[in-house]
Amino acid sequence: MLTESEKLHTLIHLSIELGQSKDLDILMEHILTEARRFVNADAGSIYLKDFETLIFAYTQNDTLQRKLPPNEKLAYVNFTIPIDENSIAGFVGKTGRILNIEDVRKLPSTVPYCFNRSFDERVGYSTQSVLTVPLNTAEGERIGVLQIINAQDQQGQVVPFLPEEEPMLMHFANTAAVALERAQLTRNIILRTIKMAEMRDPLETGAHVNRVASYAIEMYERWARRRGVEGKELTKNRDIFRMAAMLHDVGKVAISDTILKKPAKLTVEEFNIMKQHTIQGARLFLEGLSAFDRAAATVALNHHERWDGKGYPGHVNYRTGLPLKGYENPDGQPRGKSREEIPIFGRIVAVADVYDALTSARVYKEAWDETKVLKIFEEGAGSQFDPDIVEIFFSCLEFIHFIQQRYPDNRAENL
């Protein structure tokens, strides 16, 4: 449990820390972890406003988490609730009032809201104390609701939230809301850019890029931990990598409709043009100097390299597209990068992208069934793909399936 002075310290440093997460998913994870630590709470959720409704966008639950094998993540689906007084989160979203409920199982009959037990029943959890605060931006716009569940005393017994904790949590929520608003803006800019690039291909949506990015950071996290990358560095890399992975195919903006939308196999010439999307994507970030620009260029350039050196575009100067000196094959073509010559972000997105491409429908192909897809990875480990990454991929398959539910193709692209 935090002491008072630790709480103050946390509050002061919070805006700086939250300001560093630019990816929406990673920011929500950060906010909920800190908010729960602040009041020693077992669980919590973030709801984000989407026009007239609240979307259940992110959740944590230590009790349920402990029942999972180590490294497994809690699975949940995004559901939507109306912004009205019938639910607790809806009430706070509507009225903007903080709501501190000692025990949701004993709500007085005078309140308009009731507690929805379906989530508890489905997962086998017992919600008791619930503190729900509005997420208001500096301009006073409500962008969502933060809900903290089951405060605990030193012995781990569930207790009510203290009224004196409310102002601090409101302050926290205001800081979080500003960071969230900015991350939503960034996410929307990325999704809009991708939409522009892929507009001509209705089968590829924001859902696809969110899935690829989510698979990629999960694999990166496991890969990095094995190598002792932790703490702030890991958080920063995940943040940058998630956004960069979303943009892996943005270079397709430069590819003509006749090729991109062709509902059949590409000819050799067409495929050669298609391959340029790697270099074209990298060029979009040429002028940028930030770590994000470098990561995005790295991902775009390297996501079609192969572990065995048979991928593309190989050792090229991405400004000119020409082979690097000393890296030409006898035919004058650039030599493919192989093994660790391929940056880790590229090796990971290669696996994430192919998995998602095969399990989804494309203009040129049907979705494959899972068994057939997994075979590609069993057979491709050590040839097409980095065998370590394939091993990590198989170790997080359950999480990958959860991501598929979280970002289904038929949903709006706003999350």
How close are the terminal C-alpha atoms of the chain, in Å? 33
Tell me the closest approach of the beta carbon of residue 353 to ligand C2E, in angstroms. Answer: 5
Q: Which stretch binds ligand SIN (CB under 6 A): 84-92, 154-162, 164-172, 174-182?
A: 84-92
Tokens of 35: 């908010």
CA distance 177 to 414: 17
Cβ proximity to ligand C2E, 227 vs 265, nearer residue = 265
Tell me the closest approach of the beta carbon of residue 138 to ligand SIN, in angstroms. Answer: 25
Residue reference for tokens 């781990």: 156
Tell me the closest approach of the beta carbon of residue 186 to ligand C2E, in angstroms. Answer: 23
DSSP string, 44-56: EEEEEEETTEEEE
Beta bridge partners of 44: 60, 148
Q: Which stretch binds ligand C2E (CB under 6 A): 130-138, 167-175, 352-360, 405-413?
A: 352-360
Cβ proximity to ligand C2E, 173 vs 348, nearer residue = 348
If one asks whether residue 89 binds ligand SIN (CB under 6 A), the answer comes out as yes
Using CB under 6 A, pick the residue from 36, 94, 142, 208 that binds ligand SIN. Answer: 208
Question: Cβ distance 190 to 243 under 8 Å?
Answer: yes
Residues 51-110 that bind ligand C2E (CB under 6 A): none
DSSP string, 171-229: HHHHHHHHHHHHHHHHHHHHHHHHHHHHTT-TT--HHHHHHHHHHHHHHHHHHHHHTT-
CA distance 397 to 78: 20
Residues 246-275 that bind ligand C2E (CB under 6 A): 262, 265-266, 274
**Taking CB within 5 to 8 Å according to partner kind, which of ligand C2E, Fe ion, ligand SIN, none is near residue 194?**
ligand SIN
Question: Cβ distance 95 to 86 under 8 Å?
Answer: no
**Taking CB within 5 to 8 Å according to partner kind, which of Fe ion, ligand SIN, ligand C2E, none is near residue 198?**
ligand SIN
Using CB under 6 A, pick the residue from 365, 373, 388, 395 that binds ligand C2E. Answer: 365
Residues that bind ligand SIN (CB under 6 A): 81, 87-89, 115-116, 119, 194, 198, 204, 208-209, 248-250, 353, 357
